Chains A and B, each alone.
Chain A
């Protein structure tokens, strides 16, 4: 059974249709990349997969581990293993970082019928993961994302992914806003999380991320449809020729 199956997915925001029939299957251990011009529907796809309110599926289905998630709320999907690293992580003034991370981890533990994490042990675990990603202790003490730079926010997303250990991770333009060094650190963090158990959908506008996180398959999204799929060389093709022409192939 595939980990994630997207079948003929049509979705709209309000009255506007954005996704017009997407088919995509991701198996455990696979990393797929989605590339596409701005406005092609990449973020919309990530929100529809994670169950954001206001994003309505009008046709098709999304299966996680063979089960449709369409009737599941965002939090249920997350506890079932779905994770979204946001293109634009939001600031949560007044919500302490550690309390937030613990609430997220405990929500999964409770669902799985396991004991909640011990506070001291949790802090140690977070510190260790944070160190790998070059996240300073001071950042962990602040309210979620408040006062973080763009790059720090992206690292914090990957930290959450490392702590939550999702089965299906969606990374929406995790590379945007990162300088070369930060891109390296974040990519290494992501690569550490590649495993035979986990699927990843890496959304990006540029090919350069895919030099670090090498995908098994690359899909080009244009106008709410996948217009071309191939192996990693497709990304290089796009790099050379741009997206023009690909959209018309649909």
Chain B
């Protein structure tokens, strides 16, 4: 990471972002960070800001308070009835807040630059420390049209000692969907987070969710990527104080000629922090999966525990998976491990199941579910676990044809 440049104002930042974007255009596999994922197809399309449209009402499939971002535009916050302890405000007019928030995000980074330059919404959500909030907060991203680009920015500030259940549901239909979610976790706060990427099959999804943790904070995050044509899903974790913990696991499910790129960046800047990532991918047809996982351990971050394991399962000969773990460890007293495997369904196991009368489709379903089961067990909040398990098994059933 390059040293943070100093911008005096939001206008400076935005200008720098624009010139950065002009200089790199869309990444096309030339830069290391985008080695496996090219966005050059975006240079051929005209992307327009979204137009305000009324959202199609959707039955909530997950209980909670829903904030709906239609086509990447901010919801009418005054009308939202949020539980006590959650304050949401539109900060699109308050560039000073955006400016401060962006100082917590990586610089010289394509997605933060895009967001600074093209924002379609800017919302801040504050979670009070005293409040006891049991209802999950659901950020739902829907609608959008071909040739539209949505760039919502949401800054969630969790006070010391507070707790939040947060779900991001990306189910839009814009050509480009670029949500940027920044979550600051105060001291001793906890967050259960899930992200579901299930956008329309013409969408390019470029998501970035960044957690910034104070001391003793704890985040349990889980992402599922199954929609879109091309997905780059970045999850970052920045330990800004000692003794915090992050579990950020993910499952990607690819079919047809989808491309799923799961990129994670974990920055251990202080001692005694723990990070844990289990990544599983299942790829059918001509789908391509990428996992890039960078774990950085700063010289002072002693007693860091950083675990990372990625496995991909190929269901077809034309599917392909790449993994690029990157460990940058500058401290000496650490426990860090990483591993990556790519495999196919084991014919011997399939035969064993079939020899018991279980048909091919059900046998494959059982083995795919078995491949994912321990990863899904990482989700600590039960309603979130049940919801994502349903999403995953629905996908598997559709691919194997047991439905």
Contacts and interface: CB of A to CB of B under 8 A. Distances in A.
A11 B293 CA distance: 48
B149 interface: no
Contact of B352 (A83, A90, A143): A90
Interface in A2-26: none
A79 B360 CA distance: 13
Contact of A73 (B360, B373, B374): B360
B91 interface: no
Interface in A75-119: 75, 78-79, 83-84, 86, 89-90, 92-95, 99-100, 103-104, 107-108, 111
| Residue of B348, B352, B356, B357 most packed against chain A (CB within 10 A) | B357
Contacts of B363: 75
Contacts, number: 75
B355 A78 contact: yes
A164 B356 contact: yes
Given A75-B358, A160-B356, A92 B349 contact: yes
Nearest to B375: A94
B352 A103 contact: no
A183 to B, nearest CB: 23
B7 interface: no
A51 B370 CA distance: 24
Contact of B357 (A54, A90, A107): A107
A53 B357 contact: no
A53 B352 CA distance: 11
B357 A92 contact: no
Contacts of A79: 357
B358 A107 contact: yes
A164 B358 CA distance: 12
Nearest to A143: B370
Interface string A159-186: 0100010000000000000000000000
B147 interface: no
A74 interface: yes
The size bracket of the interface on A is 20 to 34
B340 interface: no
A94 B357 contact: no
B371 interface: yes
B228 to A, nearest CB: 27
B362 A107 contact: yes
B360 A75 contact: yes
B22 interface: no
A65 B119 CA distance: 71
B352 A92 contact: yes
Given A89-B352, A90-B352, A95 B366 contact: yes
Contact of B351 (A52, A103, A108, A111): A52
Contacts of B357: 75, 78-79, 104, 107-108, 111, 164
A94 B374 contact: yes
Interface string B230-265: 000000000000000000000000000000000000
Given A53-B347, A107-B362, A74 B370 contact: no
16 contacts: A53-B347, A73-B354, A74-B355, A75-B354, A75-B355, A75-B359, A78-B354, A78-B357, A90-B349, A94-B371, A95-B369, A95-B370, A100-B366, A103-B356, A107-B356, A107-B362
Interface of A: 50-54, 73-75, 78-79, 83-84, 86, 89-90, 92-95, 99-100, 103-104, 107-108, 111, 143, 160, 164
Interface of B: 347-349, 351-360, 362-363, 366-367, 369-374
